[in-house]
Structure 1
């Protein structure tokens, strides 16, 4: 309900500008066409109300409505009705009539597609019928030079304005699409890439390494005894530890490294074009930095990391095999005392090891 209301209010604000400008330009077009017909005073008053008062009234009706979108749709149908009414009142003067109905059709299509266009045509037909009942039935399609020039502003300005609104809306939708894409790829707790997004980047990195024959290294990171932290200090503290690790990753990795939350208390990093030795140095510094973290809410708490590294190898059939190597290296780090970096190359433990001081 709130989303519908928000959507309706946004539409109302956009249509107010187009309706206000379109009605004012339409007033000029219709008034010049009506002038030779010597309409009564009430018709002039209605033209002024329709051209300058109605846009404000329509905006207020929609803005204060519980369902602004539906109210705005009714407002646009009233616009169509008025358009048909003035076409009949102008005795079907060709250019002003076609101009007014074309601009109205453009509005209806933009708002609701073909179905709303057809509904708008019915409203215009009703307006013409009422006009024929009010004014003497006549058909004078001739358009004078003055009347032709009076239509020019509506023909030139209104489509340009609608095009600008459509451009801004398209730009806004692109921004929303980018934001939604980023949101769909982001872990809500850590702010890093989520599991699926990181795996997608890993597949891309694997293909790049295979084509370029340039190595990269991946790391799997596990927070030591994280379950004990949750059980002892509570899940709020546990979540803060996860956020702290994501902060340390953001501050200590290079700009082109890709960090993500693999799941639970496991994190993952892609280090492109990075040798195993360099990756071990980076991860060891990161481990030391995280170990030194002071938690104000739990001053006595110390948290360490176990890290498994695996470099790209042509022997890997796909990215899953590469990731499996890092997972096995992480298992070694955890099973040999934790708080260390372990490395595997082509299925064997590598001598580049990091032990806690």
Structure 2
């Protein structure tokens, strides 16, 4: 089993530890009340105390010290089922305590392992019944006293609440895990910004929104000048630091409503919501100036500059691809004009799809 699986098994054992303590303690009350009128041998009373008070701690240590905690805990649940069947036979199938214990153990199996564990648990309960009848005889007591009714009430009321709380915690944990997976699926691992695919999906949504509501929005494409030379001269570790630095500057420079992403390699992208081209230009000029102040104490000669292309939404764009191509042309123009600048695509370049040299 992998380390990750072991971690999940340990988490499972920890979650079930307290409910087992509570369940066994409340089951001890029900079984004690049912055994009092019977002439049970001393070893049955001793076994009841061990099962009710010591077993939860032994089961926990068994699971947490196992190389496969999850499987060990499932074995513990099967043991619980065997003992539930045994106590049903030991109390002469007194209806209330017997059904209470058997149903609560089955509830555990449903929550912990689904149909597979329920089936194994039912077989284990039948085995426990057979064991109890073999050791104590096939007796039946169908009358429950008031004491037995009251002794069963804690398990009927408090234990389902405890199990419900554990289920709620598990659901919350799974929801958080799902959220983290969702974040990973849309986030670039190096920079923490949105990845290429998710950013383009948001661009499509923004385009449709601007079409419907005549909204104002600007997109920016940002390229680190001569980034290949930085990698070749200083190494990819330093190059990654430059990328992380720029992503940090982007996060600090933008509003919560703006969406920044890593478009690919050394290229970044931004969607400015409810922004004019002039406002976006000022924001990108500030970013360019802050990037120019980057310094690395180990490489004092290293400097970075940015070329940035802007494109404001226009009604004549046929789709988000054309909008993006317009920003792409603006970026090309910034590079052709000497780099280290913010630019928009001149009218003469409209309609051309261009690429730029590194």
TM-score, normalization by structure 1: 0.95
Deviations 1:133-154 (A, max 9, x none): 1112111211111111111000
Distance 1:132 1:12 in 2: 31
Change in Cα spacing, 1:316 to 1:242, as seen in structure 2 (3 Å) is: same
Distance 2:31 2:237 in 1: 68
Tell me, what secondary structure is at the counterpart of 1:37?
A: coil
Distance 2:5 2:278 in 1: 56
- 2:330 and 2:346 in contact (8 A); partners too: no
- 2:326 and 2:345 in contact (8 A); partners too: yes
Aligned to 1:34: 35
Distance 2:188 2:38 in 1: 69
Q: What is the CA-CA distance between 1:346 and the residue it aligns to? A: 7.5
Q: How many residue pairs align between the two structures? A: 349
Aligned to 2:354: none
Distance 2:135 2:270 in 1: 77
Uncovered stretches (5+) of structure 1, i.e. residues with no partner: 350-357
Distance 1:347 1:51 in 2: 85
Change in Cα spacing, 1:348 to 1:281, as seen in structure 2 (3 Å) is: farther
Deviations 1:287-319 (A, max 9, x none): 122112222221112211111100111111221
Aligned to 1:169: 170
Aligned to 2:239: 238
| Cα RMSD (Å) | 1.4
Q: How does 1:320-331 map to 2 (within 5 A)?
A: 320-331=321-332
Tell me, what secondary structure is at the counterpart of 1:36?
A: coil
Aligned to 1:46: 47
Aligned to 1:105: 106
Aligned to 2:130: 129
Uncovered stretches (5+) of structure 2, i.e. residues with no partner: 351-358
- 1:95 and 1:143 in contact (8 A); partners too: yes
TM-score, normalization by structure 2: 0.95
Deviations 1:247-273 (A, max 9, x none): 221222223211111000000011111
Aligned to 2:248: 247
Aligned to 2:270: 269
Question: Does 1:336 pair with 2:307?
Answer: no
Q: What is the CA-CA distance between 1:184 and the residue it aligns to? A: 2.0
Distance 1:239 1:331 in 2: 24
